């Protein structure tokens, strides 16, 4: 029987979804929903990368 890892990785998919939706909303307000989507996706990927680096170091 294997013992569970004491350090479980954190899920950051919700941050990606929030970043994309936030980007679309702000982009729509500014009249550029596609650019908002792309910026939101880029911010979400950055947040995911940051979480991955932090989790890897734990």
Tokens 């500014």 label which residue?
30
Tokens 């979400």 label which residue?
44
Has this prediction a pTM greater than 0.85? no
Query: Is residue 24 one of the residues assigned to a domain?
Result: yes
Query: Is residue 3 one of the residues assigned to a domain?
Result: no
Query: Is residue 34 one of the residues assigned to a domain?
Result: yes
- As a dihedral over the C-alpha atoms of residue 38, residue 32, residue 17, residue 40, rounded to 10 degrees, the angle is 40
Domain that holds residue 17: 13-57
Query: Is residue 29 one of the residues assigned to a domain?
Result: yes
Provide mean pLDDT across the span 40-51: 94
Distance (Å) of CA 46 to CA 3, 16, 33: 32, 9, 20
Q: Number of folded domains in the chain?
A: 1
Query: Is residue 28 one of the residues assigned to a domain?
Result: yes
**More confident site: 35 or 12:** 35
At 4 the pLDDT is 64
Query: Is residue 6 one of the residues assigned to a domain?
Result: no
15 neighbors 28 (Cβ within 8 angstroms): no
- What percentage of the chain has pLDDT greater than the value 90? 60
Q: Which of the residue ranges 4-8, 9-13, 31-35, 51-55 would you say has the lowest mean pLDDT?
A: 4-8
Q: Inform me whether the pLDDT recorded for 58 exceeds 70.
A: no
């Amino acid at each position: 029987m294997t013992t569970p890892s004491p350090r479980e990785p954190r899920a950051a998919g919700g941050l990606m979804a929030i970043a994309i939706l936030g980007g679309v909303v702000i982009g729509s307000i500014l009249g550029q929903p596609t650019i908002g989507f792309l910026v939101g996706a880029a911010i979400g990927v950055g947040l995911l990368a940051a979480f991955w680096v932090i989790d890897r170091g734990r």
